[in-house]
Structure 1
């Protein structure tokens, strides 16, 4: 079977976000955790493959190297088009990593042009006149300006990407996009003639993304958030189908692990606790002091799992995070929490958890690696950008898992996600 689309995602939650949109549009999707060793020697039972990297916040040179390894593997699988996926809030710094990875992929593919748009209107991410909006506010005025690793203070994506690339960056504005795919193609050809190597594309609705998807048919490389995924499958004749999202029936106990510091996840934690559900807070300072916080969290979980979902979280407000980072250092604090939550995840599996919600990109990466997960079958959507997935565990068990970007989902996500899984699998 031909793999039509090969996707390289710069974090784990973003990978499932992208895969979710492809499945909704009718493609059967496999998500791989990091680049498999060797080439794709066996035919893949999928229309699209997503390789999830942990490259969003690594040094730019490391992100480029990892992305090129993923591209080499995609080529061995015979993919027809490459999709570089980044966050819908364009998370990066002036040093990268979006620009350097984009240019490295362009060079490797021998293409002189690509598009860039993080727009995902279903989750309130829109691009107008080259400026990124988060809900009703500009990116630089949103909560992303306080992000501990990639603070975003400039909303002008032409400026942001231009600071990271050697190639000139242009704009395909909304008047062109609204006129349709053919007009987008004309604008692209005009930009190429001017020597522009990448163009930010406006999108304020799903219809805009569908028009853009048709316009980039045959382009060797596209770069975007997950939104553009809704406009690409039709280029190969795919249409929405429930069969694309079917997973095995769920079983086992239920738990939530949250390491995100986003405003949305903070709200989800508060709602879970407010509802009187069992929750254990992981304190980085206690970890640093040598306390067995993971053991305490697992003892707490063991006492409550029979009651329903248990939450283990390190989620805190931006001010609290800054305070901890000031005492321990940003890198050390993050590493301590990730290692602890990964240890908790392994322990939860031993306690019979087979339905697991994980919140936060860095946390998701730590958890899937700790559990030895190498691939995921993408299933039904829980909320925009967030699907349930199924992973095979050693011994033949199936783990149903969702890897949620910190910014996604409503206040009740931690409980409604399990309700969605019941009845949506076959």
Structure 2
């Protein structure tokens, strides 16, 4: 079995999606650091030398294949050279991707250039802890307690950037790469570890370059984790998929007595007033915004379409910051948001405005994230806060960059996939800030109240 100081290194394809992998490893008992930029090898050896796992919060879910070619190879080399046994390209647990943006198949192709001796690439997308399941290759995600096939999911089938039209994960992946894939389904996983290994070997011998594993329950997940850990015995193993991979490894390690799960964390307690920033257009976030506004939060609505071609961005930022600061001074928690759900009229206006300026719809994430990040910084410079929350993958990344945050660690669990984190910033004013980064699908309708109260699910 591998014996490495760093057990796992992962690259997350978006900022919020990276936190759930960090959370899974932390709960498994490993000190895990999430970097918001590629760390220097010296940083891993010095400042975070005692960490057992690390991640890089990337942005590849919003990149074209050509942009991925420039972004990913260096990250993959860093992971391979770090000594980590498992090197993970971390995708969203809803696998949202497309040939032209966030292409997971292209990411796997690029990784194979670094991990050249690897027999096959394991792919695990299901994460039962997050209510994401893969059964006979078909992927399901729960919403409000109901599991929906991905191509019929009320949110993911209507995703504004990468709507999921196909629930068969290998068929979806085949639209992004010519690499042949095969499935190890839940029936095959019911056998012994040796029997499942034999099934994998047969599929690889038949030409499979990518092997997808079903994921339905913790028992089978632990078996997959054991197979991955065994495969990583000789040299670093590249894997792709959701944080189900971390949960699978954790289940294996705990069954073998390699780690003790971490169950005790300091109580975060309440933090009021708070600043919440949302660039998410998910219907889940929409319900959370509606709930918050109905329960005492002050809302500030922004229209990103107004920012296109804005020749006085500094004044716009100051105006929004002044409005937020006035509400915070009155003791109100403030929710600054750019959209309420996927049908919000501002989305079409923003896309139309970008197109008129020769820019693509993918540029909306940068436009919204950078501007909201500047507002957030301006507010915190005037009014230090204990805790902030950010919704939306692109928004989270750009806000953190504006605050000079270069790394985070999980401080306490709140909602699965969206833990409370401690920020490391090069700006002393923001170092130690408590941060919660929320993906569009995470949390119940009272999520923002949970963050304010420091209340775990």
The alpha-carbon distance between structure 1 residues 44 and 297, as it changes in their structure 2 partners (threshold 3 A), is: same
Is 1:301 paired with 2:327?
no
Counterpart residue number, 1:375: 407
| Alpha-carbon distance between aligned partners in 1 of 2:424 and 2:25, rounded to the nearest angstrom | 21
| Alpha-carbon distance between aligned partners in 1 of 2:362 and 2:273, rounded to the nearest angstrom | 33
Is 1:237 paired with 2:261?
no
Q: Within 5 A, what are the aligned runs for 1:15-414? A: 15-37=18-40, 40-42=44-46, 44-95=49-100, 97-110=103-116, 111-135=118-142, 136-142=147-153, 143-219=155-231, 220-233=237-250, 234-235=252-253, 237-242=258-263, 254-288=274-308, 290=310, 292-306=315-329, 307-319=331-343, 320=345, 321-329=347-355, 330-350=361-381, 351-393=383-425, 394-395=427-428, 397-414=431-448
- Contact kept, 8 Å, 2:139 with 2:167, in 1: the verdict is yes
Q: How many residues align?
A: 422
RMSD: 2.4
| Alpha-carbon distance between aligned partners in 1 of 2:280 and 2:406, rounded to the nearest angstrom | 22
- Contact kept, 8 Å, 1:56 with 1:97, in 2: the verdict is yes
- Contact kept, 8 Å, 1:56 with 1:63, in 2: the verdict is no
Superposed CA offset, 1:121-142 (max 9, x none): 2333211111111222211112
| Alpha-carbon distance between aligned partners in 2 of 1:247 and 1:165, rounded to the nearest angstrom | 46
Superposed CA offset, 1:24-58 (max 9, x none): 11111100112124554436221110111111121
Superposed CA offset, 1:392-411 (max 9, x none): 33227411101111111000
- Contact kept, 8 Å, 2:288 with 2:445, in 1: the verdict is yes
Per-residue deviation, 1:421: 6.2
Give the match's secondary structure for 1:8: strand
Give the match's secondary structure for 1:102: helix
- Give me the TM-score of the superposition, normalised by structure 2: 0.86
Unpaired runs of at least 5, structure 1: none
Per-residue deviation, 1:388: 0.9
| Alpha-carbon distance between aligned partners in 1 of 2:297 and 2:133, rounded to the nearest angstrom | 35
Superposed CA offset, 1:357-407 (max 9, x none): 111101011111111111111222211111111013322741110111111
- Contact kept, 8 Å, 1:113 with 1:198, in 2: the verdict is yes
| Alpha-carbon distance between aligned partners in 2 of 1:180 and 1:410, rounded to the nearest angstrom | 38
| Alpha-carbon distance between aligned partners in 1 of 2:192 and 2:391, rounded to the nearest angstrom | 37
- Contact kept, 8 Å, 1:247 with 1:389, in 2: the verdict is no
| Alpha-carbon distance between aligned partners in 2 of 1:246 and 1:179, rounded to the nearest angstrom | 41
| Alpha-carbon distance between aligned partners in 2 of 1:33 and 1:259, rounded to the nearest angstrom | 18
Superposed CA offset, 1:273-308 (max 9, x none): 111311111112332374744333212221122424
| Alpha-carbon distance between aligned partners in 2 of 1:286 and 1:322, rounded to the nearest angstrom | 12
Superposed CA offset, 1:94-131 (max 9, x none): 34521111122133112121221221223332111111
Counterpart residue number, 2:234: none
Per-residue deviation, 1:346: 0.7
Give the match's secondary structure for 2:62: coil
- Give me the TM-score of the superposition, normalised by structure 1: 0.92
Give the match's secondary structure for 1:152: coil
| Alpha-carbon distance between aligned partners in 2 of 1:358 and 1:144, rounded to the nearest angstrom | 20
Q: 98-107 or 288-297: which moved more?
A: 288-297
| Alpha-carbon distance between aligned partners in 2 of 1:4 and 1:331, rounded to the nearest angstrom | 34
| Alpha-carbon distance between aligned partners in 2 of 1:62 and 1:4, rounded to the nearest angstrom | 29
